[in-house]
Structures are given as structure tokens and as C-alpha cells.
Chains A and B, each alone.
Chain A
Amino acid sequence: MEATEAAGVTAEAPANTTAVTGQAAGSEGQAAATEAEATHGEVKTEGGAAEGGGPLSHLPEAVNELVGFTDEAGTFHPGALSTQVISGGDYSPTQFVVTNYVFFLGISIVLLAVVMVMAVRKLALVPKNKLSNAVEALSQFVRDDIAVAMIGHDGPKYFPFLGTIFFFILVNNILGLIPGCKPGTGTMGVTVALSTTVFIFFNAVGFKNQGFLGYFKSFAPKGVPFPINVIVWAIEVFSSFLRIFTLAVRLYANMYAGHIILGIFAILTALFTEPLIEAIQTGHNVGGAALGALPSIGWLTLMTALYCLEIVVAFVQAYVFTILSAVYIGAAAHEH
């Protein structure tokens, strides 16, 4: 069900972007887009020899190829990070297709299932299996430090839901860090589906624990005179609906922006190394080209540092999403 919803929502994303950027494209943007289209796919052969602008002059084109761009005719050219059908070609928003993000979402689900089954195959009080130990430590972390710490003594009751959310997001984020793979959570459709699930869950918990009218009233603060009471109630209900958006965008923006930054540093490394490879192939001025390729070392070091940061971000975002879900559930479960 999640995959269907995700495909439906992600399919809309490129169409919307096209509509917005197609109108916004000015005359300068048109020129840049045409240039980028002309050199599309042959940056390697044309670059360096065409003009003496230095490696950095090719950065905009390469970044366009990474995130996608709109040409002067208003058609959107998907980049490496854009959502597109895995077999290539166009699709309409109402069509059911497997996009590249949904494909890796499926892979991560299979991976998660395999890891979990392997972890619980030989259960013991003191597990000797390293995988079992790791999964147990993470599960205990979710149960004690997220569920019980945020919801209270009845926290373990909600652990299955929170654990599912945590491991699902974690596996997706980690899988996306493998070069060539994409994070399933790096697209708006999947994260909106996740946050909508959380929204429905904590509202159901609220209605179940406090009763229908009780949960409805719990949005208004107690001991406040009549007109302000209603206004605060309306704002609180609106902000509770806003949680769908904030939860989804936080996760999506972190994953997407992280991959753009990693991609830009990878492009910079490649752009500064390209002249050196060409010089070695043609055999003249290798020394000068090697000197020009020295910044690559710096870019590569920065990229490695950012890669380590992204590993931390993958954990922290899974943690933040789960802990916020726990906070919302806790607020809905108890009268206060």
C-alpha cells in the first residue's frame, strides 16, 4: 500500500517542477539550458579543449545533470537524483510505475526482512551471533530511550510501531549511502506516506485512550476564557495537521540535500582530475596537468568527511523521526 501511494505522489513531483520552472525560466536561464543541452553527454570530450575557462566552468552543466533542469521549451530533463521510471521514458501522474526511488525502497524492504529473519533465527538469552546482538541493541535503544523515555510506563505497548518506523527509515538511509543506490526516503512521496501513517496512528491512539470528545477537547487549553479557547483549539488542530508536512520534509530534505552535496563534491573531484587523464592519454604536458589536479585531493578529503557526516545524519534522522512520533503518540495517549 505504501509503495502504491509513494509512486502516485512521486509521479507528480517532476510534473510540478516542470510547471514552476518552465514559467520562471528567464532569457539568461534559456541560454544556459541550451548550452547545457548542447554539451550534454559529451562534457568529457569537449571539456578542457574547447575553451580555457578552467575545470570550474563546467560545474553548472554537471550539477544540472545531477539535479535535472528545464530547457527553454519547458520540458524537464531529469537528472541523476530526479525521480524517473526505472526503465526510462515518460509517465503520467496517475500511472502506476516503479520509479528509481521506489525500486530501492523495495530492495531495502527485502534487505530488512532478510536481516531481521537472520537475527532472530537462533534466539538465545545471551546471543552469540553478532547480528543478533546489533539488532537487539538497536531495538533496546528504541524501546528504552525512545518509547519509554517519551511516552512513559506504557511505552513498550507502542514499541512495535516505533521499531518498524525506526528500522525502515534506518535501512533506507543507510542503503542510499552506498554509491549507485538511492535512499527510498530521499523522495517526498515516501516520507509523506510515512508521516501520514504516523498521523493516523497517533490520532487513533488519542481517540482510543481519551474517548472521541475527550481527545477533541484536549486540543484546547484548560482554564482559558471562551473566545480565546476556540482560537487556540483551531490553531492546535491546524498545527497537528502540519505535523504531516514537517515530519516528511525534515526527512526528505536531509536525505536529498545530503546526496546533492556529496554529488557536487564528487563532481568537483572528477572535474579537476579530467585534464590529468586526458594529458596521460595524449602524452603531453603531464606535469602541468598533474599540478592542476592537486585540488582534487582537497575535494576528495572534504567528500570523505561529508560522507562520514552523512552516515551520522542517516542515524540521527531515523532517530529524530521516531522520537517525534513517540512524542506525538505520548501527547495523544495521556490526558493532560
Chain B
Amino acid sequence: MNFIGFALLYGLAVTAPAITIGLVGSKSAESTARQPEMAGRIFTVFILSAAFVEALALLGFVLGIMVQGKL
């Protein structure tokens, strides 16, 4: 049961960030193709947004381990 709970927590915590990071990646690829001379700035924005989104997914992972204290 503990495993199922942890798996559910992580699975639910990661769905929205997964969709969002896909959006961020696709949009930054699109913008780079549209304006290749802005590639540097776009990459910075991409990394920043990806880090913001990734933190949410990691929060779910770490929260599960902290609250549960065991697997």
C-alpha cells in the first residue's frame, strides 16, 4: 500500500510539470526556428522556465519521502 501511495503521489505530482515542460520545449524550439538570431536569449528563458517547472515535480518527490519517512 505504501508503494502504491508513493507511486500515486509522484505520478500525480509529475503530470502537470510534464505537460508544461513539453510546452516550454516546443515553444522555445518554435521561437528559435522563427528567429535564430535570438537563440541565446530564448535558451536562457527556456532553462529558467524548465527549472521553475522542474522544481514542482521534485517537490512532490521530496515531499513524499519527507512525509512518509520510509518506503
Contacts and interface: CB of A to CB of B under 8 A. Distances in A.
Nearest to A323: B48
A249 B47 CA distance: 18
Contacts of A67: 65, 70-71
A145 B44 CA distance: 9
A319 interface: yes
B11 to A, nearest CB: 15
Contacts of B69: 17-18, 20-21, 24-25, 68-70, 76
Interface string B15-54: 0000000000000000000000000000010011001001
B1 A257 contact: no
Contact of B51 (A25, A69, A252, A317): A317
Interface in A177-214: none
A60 interface: yes
Contacts of B66: 17, 20
Given A317-B51, A320-B48, A253 B71 contact: no
Contact of B71 (A20, A64, A319): A64
A152 interface: no
A319 B47 contact: yes
A21 B44 contact: no
A256 interface: yes
Interface in A227-260: 246, 249-250, 252-254, 256-257, 260
Contacts of B48: 320, 323
B70 A254 contact: no
Interface string B47-67: 110010011001101100111
A249 B71 contact: no
Question: What's the interface size class on B, roughly?
Answer: 20 to 34
B51 A316 contact: yes
Interface residues of A, number: 35
A11 interface: no
A254 B60 CA distance: 11
A298 interface: no
A107 interface: no
Contacts of A257: 58, 61-62
A29 B59 CA distance: 23
A15 interface: no
A63 interface: yes
Contact of B67 (A21, A63, A64, A145): A21
Nearest to B65: A67
A233 to B, nearest CB: 24
Contacts of B47: 316, 319-320
B70 A256 contact: no
B46 to A, nearest CB: 11
Interface in A32-88: 32-33, 36, 60, 63-64, 67-70, 76
B67 A60 contact: no
A17 B68 CA distance: 9
Interface of A: 17-18, 20-21, 24-25, 28-29, 32-33, 36, 60, 63-64, 67-70, 76, 145, 149, 246, 249-250, 252-254, 256-257, 260, 316-317, 319-320, 323
The 3 lowest CB-CB distance pairs between A and B, nearest first, are A21-B69, A69-B70, A253-B58
Interface of B: 1-3, 44, 47-48, 51, 54-55, 58-59, 61-62, 65-71
